[in-house]
Chain A
Amino acid sequence: MIDPLVIFDLLLALGIVALAVAALATRESFAMIVVFIVFGLVSALAWVRLSAPDVALAEAAIGTGVTGALLLKTLHHLRCATGQPGQNATQAQISAPPVPVGVTLANAAFCGLITLGLAVAFLGAPAAGPGFEGLVAQAMPQSGVEHPVTAVLLNFRAYDTLMEVVVLLAAVIAVWQIERGLSDAPAPVMGEVWQGFARLALPAIVVVGTYLLWVGAEAPGGAFQGGAVLAAVGLLLLLTRAYVPQPAHRGIARGAFVLGTAAFALVALLVASGGRVAFEYPLAHAKTLILLIEGMVTLSIAVTLAALFHGREPMALKHEGKDDT
């Protein structure tokens, strides 16, 4: 008698591979994005089956929710740029200039390098070792929090997490620079039912996002998941036009982008100035410091992701300035 869950896992694994193939094989941009979103959701389910609810939450919120919204927004931009709003993407693609062979080759080379690196890392890893679970469990009393994943992310390997926050900051700077010359794509009119839905969903999202941040200390959740959920608030505000970014808000937005990185780095420097290693928090204040960093990082992530969704920086000369939260 085979465990029915094994059959479920096998079907899940096959489904993920099939969805990945479908996403690559589809030539219609919109269908491709939809398949990619489904792929992300099914992957999140797979992470749940692998007993990694933290990764599942991140995959569902960032990998699927925010990334899906970013992709759809980009598609909307592309269609507007090619003068066919609402048309099939296949038609829009025809008018797009062909991709140079060099670019394709460079992309292929980079993808190959990444695959090679992953393969080397996989082969180099100890096959069936005990992993780091024991070490983490041993060090938990010194971490200041009760959830091992949060302890690893914000204490044991805080340096990596700081770099992840910096990557997000770099992304939003790049988008603001690159999109400077692009014209604004008109936002689609969503209708009254959507407005009502947003009004109901918005407070719930605020509660869920804050809860995810708070609960991260002892259960799955944390800054990245909470930030992504809170970014959805920004998306709703932007889509319902309850908030129209003004050029005057650019300063606040810039402050919010940097807030997480700055708070994180400042804590590290302060700890280091006390004669310790950069992220060796004093045990008495570890929980406070971690919560402070997580709170600031969550705010930064939420604002940054919402700004990425909005795209261009709000311009003073435009008839209607746009950007940030």
Chain B
Amino acid sequence: MLELLGAGLIGLGAVFFVAGTVGLLRFPDVFCRLHALTKADGLGLALIALGVALQAGTGGAVFRIALIWGFVALASATCGHLIARHARQMAGGRHD
């Protein structure tokens, strides 16, 4: 039962990744693409991490998966911010 739920969550996460990729390919400018990518990335990864954690055997493994999720989420949010910031500076020459 837990395995099935985990697999379902991983599948759902994969759907978000596919949606994010489609958004990356189809959206017109860098901000829209970032919007699609960071959302899909964050939610997709969270779902996949949750799914894998449900299938993980030990508490240590669950803890490690949670850590990985936390740091990837942090890094991808920071990356998204940096890219958007750079794009805005390139476009308008504004500094903050």
A contact set with B: CB distance below 8 Å: 86, 189-191, 193-194, 197, 200-201, 204
Contacts and interface: CB of A to CB of B under 8 A. Distances in A.
A204 B71 contact: yes
B4 interface: no
Interface stretch (B11-19, B32-40, B54-62, B78-86): B78-86
Contacts of A86: 86, 89-90
Interface in B69-83: 71, 74-75, 78, 81-82
Interface residues of B, number: 12
A193 B82 contact: yes
A38 to B, nearest CB: 13
B78 A197 contact: yes
B96 interface: yes
A190 B82 contact: yes
Q: Which of B71, B78, B81, B95 is packed against the most chain A CB atoms within 10 Å?
A: B78
Contact of A191 (B74, B85, B90): B85
24 contacts: A86-B86, A86-B89, A86-B90, A189-B95, A190-B82, A191-B81, A191-B82, A191-B85, A191-B96, A193-B78, A193-B81, A193-B82, A193-B85, A194-B78, A194-B81, A194-B82, A197-B74, A197-B75, A197-B78, A200-B74, A201-B71, A201-B74, A201-B75, A204-B71
Contacts of B86: 86
Q: Is the interface of B mostly helix, strand, loop or mixed?
A: helix
A197 B78 CA distance: 7
Contacts of A197: 74-75, 78
A254 to B, nearest CB: 33
Given A86-B89, A191-B82, 9 more contacts: A86-B86, A190-B82, A191-B85, A191-B96, A193-B85, A194-B81, A197-B75, A200-B74, A201-B75
A17 to B, nearest CB: 20
Most buried by B among A194, A197, A201: A197
A90 to B, nearest CB: 15
A214 to B, nearest CB: 16
A9 to B, nearest CB: 18
Q: Closest 6 CB pairs between A and B?
A: A197-B78, A193-B81, A191-B85, A193-B78, A194-B78, A197-B74
A193 B82 CA distance: 8
A190 B90 CA distance: 14
A77 B52 CA distance: 42
Contacts of A204: 71
A3 B37 CA distance: 31
A190 B79 CA distance: 11
A190 B86 CA distance: 9
A239 to B, nearest CB: 11
B4 to A, nearest CB: 17
Contacts of B90: 86
A135 B89 CA distance: 59
A194 B83 CA distance: 11
Contacts of B78: 193-194, 197
Contacts of B89: 86
A204 B81 CA distance: 21
B10 to A, nearest CB: 14
B77 to A, nearest CB: 8
Nearest to A88: B90
